[in-house]
């Protein structure tokens, strides 16, 4: 008996099975390709800042990032570890003179291997974006609003794009690419009027949850044999104690404090640094002597000086020039 036209129960022909398999794969691909992307969390500026801070407190990561300021481009390698209580990170420049910066909680150590020189300082004086997670008396949402701009990939990772839009002309805006799972800032832009990008930091590669040990990094940080390390003696003070007062200022900027360098006792008026912040941007006001420094611009960083009698006031910060000028004008000698 011939088999032509015979139908085998329970087993479809080869062509039908191939077609069914192809349709299954196509439908699976289509469901993934056209699935709605996850929505970014609805957060205030303060909420996004908490997310960014939590990423550094709960993760160990390493990577390479590039900083662009105008025509200047610099690259660096970072290794970061947190054990839930303490944080340590090592940042080594990959372009220009070799420089290694260690940050352990509030302590900052910068080493220049070619000069065999080092400098210790404190993080509270060296303000860094995104600044402290909370500043007494500052409601960051009063001066910025958060606008989500969708999602993009940076260094192979999915990130939410959020913009911190200033509510007035006294501050710049920021664009942040926050990794979707951890919250880590993978890319950051400082944005000027008209959306102009003044400065940018972006990871080119990053590895999350890397097997780094805090004790090993602490031992490396402590090994400064052969270096001449200086540590300024900073004493916290106030404007009033120094014979100055602050009359006016810029809305939203609050004092973090003033510090006086006691190691320069030979000078008649030791340099003084005062720091203000609005929760995102920060400004340092220096009180010293000598000639006024010329106005300078480096990416988003502005420098302005003002002579007041025998004193020279210098303001440095990533804010519009008018903000620095207004802050300088608000500093007055006590009568």
* pLDDT, tens digit, 9 for 90 and up, residues 300-324: 999 999 988 888 999 999 999 999 9
Domain annotation covers residue 122? yes
Tell me, what's the pLDDT at 132? 52
Claim to verify: residue 224 and residue 283 sit in the same structural domain: no
Claim to verify: residue 88 and residue 118 sit in the same structural domain: yes
CATH number for the domain harbouring residue 91? 2.50.20.10
| Strand-pair category, 331-333 with 173-179 | unpaired
Claim to verify: residue 178 and residue 293 sit in the same structural domain: no
* pLDDT, tens digit, 9 for 90 and up, residues 17-68: 455 555 555 555 544 444 556 788 889 999 999 999 888 887 899 999 999 9
Domain annotation covers residue 29? no
What residues contact residue 282 under an 8 Å CB cut-off, 6+ apart? 127, 131, 256, 275, 276, 317, 318
Q: Which of 165, 200, 229 is the last residue of a domain?
A: 229
Confidence of residue 155 (pLDDT cuts 50, 70, 90): very high
Tell me, what's the pLDDT at 5? 44
Domain count along the chain: 2
141 φψ region: left (φ > 0), alpha (ψ -120 to 50), beta (else) = alpha
Domain annotation covers residue 13? no
Tell me, what's the pLDDT at 39? 81
Tell me, what's the pLDDT at 133? 53
Q: Could you give the percent of the chain with pLDDT greater than 70? A: 83
Domain annotation covers residue 37? no
Q: How many Å apart are CA 227 and CA 87, to the nearest integer? A: 24
Q: What is the mean pLDDT of residues 187-203?
A: 94
CATH number for the domain harbouring residue 268? 3.30.200.100
Cis peptide before 7 (omega within 30 of 0): no
* pLDDT, tens digit, 9 for 90 and up, residues 100-114: 999 998 899 999 999
Least confident of 12-26, 77-91, 199-213, 214-228: 12-26
Claim to verify: residue 74 and residue 209 sit in the same structural domain: yes
Residue 122 belongs to domain spanning: 45-229
Claim to verify: residue 91 and residue 202 sit in the same structural domain: yes
Domain annotation covers residue 168? yes
Tell me, what's the pLDDT at 231? 87
Domain annotation covers residue 140? yes
Q: For residues 272, 249, 238 and 240, what is the CA-based torsion angle, rounded to 10 degrees? A: 110
Please determine, for residue 12, whether its predicted confidence score (pLDDT) is greater than 60.
no
Confidence of residue 216 (pLDDT cuts 50, 70, 90): very high
Q: What is the mean pLDDT of residues 240-256?
A: 91
Domain annotation covers residue 34? no
What residues contact residue 105 under an 8 Å CB cut-off, 6+ apart? 86, 87, 88, 123
Q: What is the mean pLDDT of residues 152-174?
A: 96
State the chain's mean pLDDT as an integer: 85
Please determine, for residue 214, whether its predicted confidence score (pLDDT) is greater than 80.
yes
Tell me, what's the pLDDT at 26? 53
Q: How many Å apart are CA 280 and CA 46, to the nearest integer? A: 10
Tell me, what's the pLDDT at 68? 93
Q: Could you give the percent of the chain with pLDDT greater than 90? A: 58
Domain annotation covers residue 237? yes
Tell me, what's the pLDDT at 37? 60
The pTM of the whole model exceeds 0.85: no
Q: Which of 212, 229, 246 is the last residue of a domain?
A: 229
Q: Which residues on adjacent β-strands are paired with residue 75?
A: 66
Tell me, what's the pLDDT at 261? 82
More confident residue, 232 or 189: 189
Claim to verify: residue 247 and residue 209 sit in the same structural domain: no
């Amino acid at each position: 008996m011939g088999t032509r036209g015979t139908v085998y129960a329970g087993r479809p022909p080869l062509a039908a099975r191939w077609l069914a398999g192809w349709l299954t794969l196509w439908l699976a691909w289509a469901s993934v390709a056209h699935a709605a992307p996850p929505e970014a969390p609805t957060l205030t500026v303060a909420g996004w800042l908490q997310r960014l801070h939590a990423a550094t407190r709960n993760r160990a990561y390493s990577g390479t990032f590039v900083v662009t300021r105008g025509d200047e481009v610099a690259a660096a390698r970072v290794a970061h570890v947190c054990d839930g209580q303490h944080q340590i990170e090592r940042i080594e420049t990959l372009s220009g003179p070799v420089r290694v910066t260690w940050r352990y909680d509030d302590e900052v150590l910068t080493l220049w291997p070619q000069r065999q020189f080092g400098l210790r300082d404190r993080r509270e004086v060296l303000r860094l974006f995104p600044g402290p997670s909370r500043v007494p008396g500052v409601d960051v949402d009063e001066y910025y609003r958060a606008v989500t701009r969708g999602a993009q990939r940076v260094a192979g990772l999915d990130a939410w794009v959020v913009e911190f839009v200033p509510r007035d002309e006294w501050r710049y805006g920021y664009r942040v690419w926050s990794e979707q799972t951890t919250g880590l800032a993978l890319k950051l832009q400082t944005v000027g009027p008209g959306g102009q990008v003044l400065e940018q930091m972006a990871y080119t590669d990053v590895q999350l949850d890397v097997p780094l040990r805090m004790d090993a990094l602490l031992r490396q940080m402590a090994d400064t044999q052969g270096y001449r390390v200086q540590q300024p003696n900073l004493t916290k003070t106030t404007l009033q104690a120094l014979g100055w007062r602050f009359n006016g200022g810029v809305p939203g900027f609050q004092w973090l404090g003033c510090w006086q360098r006691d190691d320069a006792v030979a000078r008649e008026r030791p340099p003084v640094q005062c720091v203000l912040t609005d929760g995102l941007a920060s400004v340092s006001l220096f009180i010293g002597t000598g000639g006024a420094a010329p106005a300078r611009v480096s990416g988003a960083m502005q420098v302005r000086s003002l002579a007041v009698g025998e004193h020279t006031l210098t303001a440095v910060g990533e804010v519009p020039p008018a903000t620095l000028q207004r802050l300088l004008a608000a500093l007055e000698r006590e009568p």
